[in-house]
Amino acid sequence: MLSEERIKELEILQERLNYRFKELNLLNEALTHKSYVNEKNSDLRDNERLEFLGDSVIDLIVGDYSFKRFSNYSEGDLSKIRAAVVNEIDLAEIARRIGIGRFILLGKGEEQSGGESKNSILSNTFEAIIAAIYLESGLENTYSVIINIFKERIDDVGNSCHYRDFKSELQEFTQGRFNCIPSYRISSESGPDHEKVFEINVIIGGVIYGKGKGKNKKEAEQLSAKEALDKLLQDPSSNL
């Protein structure tokens, strides 16, 4: 049973999402981190199952919209658009814009360590909320919610070629400047087998120049290459 105070909090979030839940307990579950459940040792369910579903729903809808919006683009182009839009960093930024962090139920330890600001927790919670909307109202209504949030970003990426191949660009840059090529090394893997998160470092001349985290190795490599390229372009006089 939700308290009156919690119901009022969830009213604020629903306004920001531009979606009203028929079952507030479902939204509350989407906002419940496993640290909160473990600490309370209650009958509450954490949001990990919803997160798993939400990830697939977002991929499907962003893929469908991109497929129809950019009818002359290749499979590779469409994959790059989706990777540029649906990743931990971008989903966390969306969650920050909506202000989701303040509504997440966290254990005291996670709360004290700034859990509500962590990219992983924000992006996972956003995915869980999308799954809750999908379970309650179906694909069509969820499509409207997601495209309302993502449309401008997808169009920007598709129209302005922000889905660049950062790995290729970085390799061309380092070959021309330093006469060497970058190498990529997995620094960590986390999560269950069906939902691995990879963190990859890009190394140039024995030095780590960028780090990237993604749901597959290609996404993590692209993000690490982007970070490295940004650093090198900001400091054109840099030498290895």
Q: Is 233 left (phi over 0), alpha (psi -120 to 50) or beta?
A: alpha
**Does 168 have pLDDT greater than 60?**
yes
Residue 192 confidence class, pLDDT cut points 50, 70, 90: confident
**Does 16 have pLDDT greater than 90?**
yes
Of the candidates 182, 233, 21, the residue with the CA atom closest to the CA atom of residue 31: 21
**Residues of the chain with pLDDT > 90: what percent?**
70
Rounded Cα distance between 38 and 34, Å, is 6
What integer is the mean pLDDT of 202-227?
Answer: 91
**Does 161 have pLDDT greater than 80?**
no
Does pTM top 0.95 for this prediction?
A: no
Tokens of 195: 């939902």
pLDDT of res. 170: 94
Give the residue numbers marked as catalytic. Answer: 55, 127
Domain residue limits, the chain: 4-160, 166-234
Q: pLDDT per residue over 75-102, tens digit each?
A: 888 888 998 899 998 999 999 999 999 9
Cβ contact 174:204 at 8 Å: yes
**Does 131 have pLDDT greater than 60?**
yes
Q: pLDDT per residue over 26-75, tens digit each?
A: 999 999 999 999 988 777 899 999 999 999 999 999 999 999 999 878 88
Indicate if the alpha-carbon torsion angle 47, 105, 97, 201 is positive or negative.
Answer: negative
Of the candidates 75, 44, 81, the residue with the CA atom closest to the CA atom of residue 59: 81
Which fold is adopted by the domain 4-160?
A: Ribonuclease iii, N-terminal Endonuclease Domain; Chain A (1.10.1520)
* Host H or E run for residue 204: strand 197-204
Cβ contact 50:33 at 8 Å: no
Q: What is the CATH number of domain 166-234?
A: 3.30.160.20
